[in-house]
């Protein structure tokens, strides 16, 4: 069962910071900001609290779903489906993105490439869960 959570000034402030910034901070950025108010805060605790906030759904982690990089041969555009059960990555046809993919710029930024990723539970993992 899940632990009952308490409230901590550090964690509350972290969420405030994340909500008040336009940036998409790294753990270290948060650490530096937090240290202005809690000079003794530790980086380890920032990571610990981030993982709690992510688990609670208050924060999104913009990583790739696993701690190591993945590679694929470069053969055309496609989207990916990532299974949170087994970690497998499936290829999918690239959706059209309302024509974005053919545009040269977005909001004034020069567009070079796009990536689309879906997350969920894959067919095989869903089958396993049901049968057990």
Partner DNA sequence: GTCCGTGCAAAAGCTTTGCAGCCTT
Partner DNA sequence: AAGGCTGCAAAGCTTTTGCACGGAC
Question: What are the residues binding a second copy (CB under 8 A)?
Answer: 15, 18-19, 22-28, 30, 50, 53-54, 57-64, 68-75, 80-81, 83-84, 88-92, 95-98, 100, 105-123, 126
Write down how long the chain is.
132
With contacts defined by CB under 7 A, name the span among 8-16, 75-83, 99-107, 122-130 that binds DNA: 8-16
Q: Cβ distance 63 to 25 under 8 Å?
A: no
Residue 6 lies near DNA (rule: CB under 7 A) = yes
Minimum CB separation of residue 55 from DNA in Å reads 11
Minimum CB separation of residue 15 from DNA in Å reads 11
Q: What is the C-alpha separation between 41 and 49, in angstroms, rounded?
A: 11
Reduce the DSSP state of residue 63 to 3 states and report it. coil
Structure token pair of residue 72: 């694929």
């Amino acid at each position: 069962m899940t632990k009952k959570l308490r409230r901590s000034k550090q964690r509350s402030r972290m969420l405030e910071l994340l909500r008040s910034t336009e940036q998409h901070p790294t753990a270290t950025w948060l650490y530096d900001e937090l240290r202005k108010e809690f000079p003794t805060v530790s980086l380890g605790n920032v990571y610990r609290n981030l993982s709690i906030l992510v688990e609670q759904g208050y924060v999104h982690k913009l990583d790739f779903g696993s701690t190591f990089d993945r590679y694929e041969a470069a053969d055309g555009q496609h989207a990916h489906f990532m299974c949170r059960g087994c970690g497998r990555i499936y290829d999918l046809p690239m959706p059209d993105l309302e024509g974005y993919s053919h545009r040269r710029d977005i909001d004034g930024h020069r567009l070079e490439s796009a990536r689309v990723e879906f997350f969920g539970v894959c067919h095989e993992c869903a089958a396993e869960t049901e049968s057990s």
